[in-house]
A and B are shown apart, each in its own frame.
Chain A
Amino acid sequence: MNDMSKDANPVIPDTIYIDGHEIPFTQGQTIMDAAFAAGIYIPHLCHRPGLTPHGSCKLCTVDIHNRIAASSATDRRTHTKFAVDADSRSVSACTTPAAAGQQISSNTPELNEVRKTITQMLFIEGNHLCPSCEKSGDCTLQAVAYHLGMLDGHFPQFFPRREVDASHPTVMLDRDRCILCELCVRASREMDGKNVFAIAGRGTSAHLIVNSPSGTLADSGLETGDMAVHICPVGAILIKEHGYEVPIGRRTFDLHQVGEIGLEKVVLAKARHIDE
């Protein structure tokens, strides 16, 4: 499967290789940053340029081939159904620094299959009812699922009971659709200078909470113009009373593909309502 060896491509300073393409990078960039800058799409959900990378959704998992890995008979990676290069490591591209000479696989059938499985798990874990969700057509989770060719959820649905918080005059929080990407948490902290959101609980009990005396958005200091309100990639944080204003055919992903570079600006622009 992997015929790239250290000797075939000389290590050029400030260059990495993604799927055989030579990609420049600058010190301090992650693999994801470098890919972005070069116009290469690596599927992701919890990543946003400008926010501290999180590495939690794992959709941006890539394989780096010429890393020395602890390879032993008990190494579980050799027991998978896909051929595994025991000298490779799987890492999240958004948190791993680019280093000169890295040989990276991203767009492989095996990785895309794993990404699809992760996406399926995200879908069955929450209540992602696209038919009646106002974010449908503008939703990055949905767009990534289309991109990966997901046709079904595969796993049994959880149907969890999750709380809706509509206490705020203009912003609604529907936890049915929250994928725990923490973009809102980071945006509130790093861009808005507030600290409105956090994740509490562990494992399948992990859930989004609001830092306010009442625990709801009403007294949280959240304002309509906050970045945290607009950065949600799914239909969990929404501006109230404006769903369905964009007709079918003109929604973000009717007009664009999720793999387009620079889409974040488009998505954010559409998320802001003309009232603001």
Chain B
Amino acid sequence: MSNAKNKLRIATTSLAGCFGCHMSFLDMDERLVELLEHVEFDRSPLTDIKHCNPCDIGLVEGGLCNADNVHVLREFRRNCKILIAVGACAINGGVPAMRNHFSLRSCLEESFLNGVGVENPQIPGDVELPLLLDKVRPIHEAVQIDYYLPGCPPSADEFLSVLGDLLAGREPALPKKLIHYD
């Protein structure tokens, strides 16, 4: 049984992602039990820890869609020794970045003014809503990223490959047969 002190501390977040990367992480199924002997979770959608503390590894899913995403990403960069961009959205913007071909205004208008069956049309503009970025951006354009896990989503085997390398103190090297972008 590992000494709790030797466990790697991992934080995870989904910025403007669909959560598929987190679900794929959970696709390691029972292997999670063994992983938990070597790692513990800090801030994550799966825990109630809501601020990232100093951690060894940060797994970031999703790209940057609004100002809050940027704040969270920076919090992760400040606190995580190693930051890993997980999945297509984090690496190149992914499907949400398709809105970059249109003005933000036209996207908002389509949903809230011109949409089918819309009542009381208006563009939401309350102070509670974080400011949207003009364009969706990949996360490496805002902070330094240490490693990349491509895929939409990356398979559980990919997560285990990278985490296995890091736990063993090796430089992560994803075998080519595990690389896929879809």
Touch between chains A and B, by CB atoms below 8 Å? yes
> What residues of chain A have their CB less than 8 Å away from a CB belonging to chain B?
123-124, 127, 129-133, 136-137, 142, 145-147, 149-154, 156-157, 159, 161
A131 touches B95 (CB 8 A): yes
Complex formed: what's the CA distance from A142 to B95 in Å?
17
A130 touches B181 (CB 8 A): yes
B92 touches A123 (CB 8 A): yes
Binary flags per residue of B89-104, CB closer than 8 Å to A gives 1, else 0? 0011111011011000
Q: How far is the CB of A73 from chain B (nearest CB, A)?
A: 36
Dominant secondary structure of chain A at its interface with chain B? loop
Interface centre among A131, A150, A156 (most CB of B within 10 A): A131
Residue of B91, B95, B135 near A153 (CB, 8 A) is: B91
Binary flags per residue of B43-71, CB closer than 8 Å to A gives 1, else 0? 00000000000000000000000000000
Contacts of A137 in B (CB 8 A): 182
Residue of A124, A132, A149 near B95 (CB, 8 A) is: A132
Q: Which of B31-39, B163-171, B172-180 contacts the other chain?
A: B172-180
Q: How far is the CB of A32 from chain B (nearest CB, A)?
A: 23
Complex formed: what's the CA distance from A136 to B94 in Å?
14
Contacts of B101 in A (CB 8 A): 127, 159, 161
A131 touches B93 (CB 8 A): no
Complex formed: what's the CA distance from A159 to B93 in Å?
10
A156 touches B141 (CB 8 A): yes
B94 touches A131 (CB 8 A): yes
- Nearest 3 CB-CB pairings of A with B: A131-B152, A130-B181, A159-B100
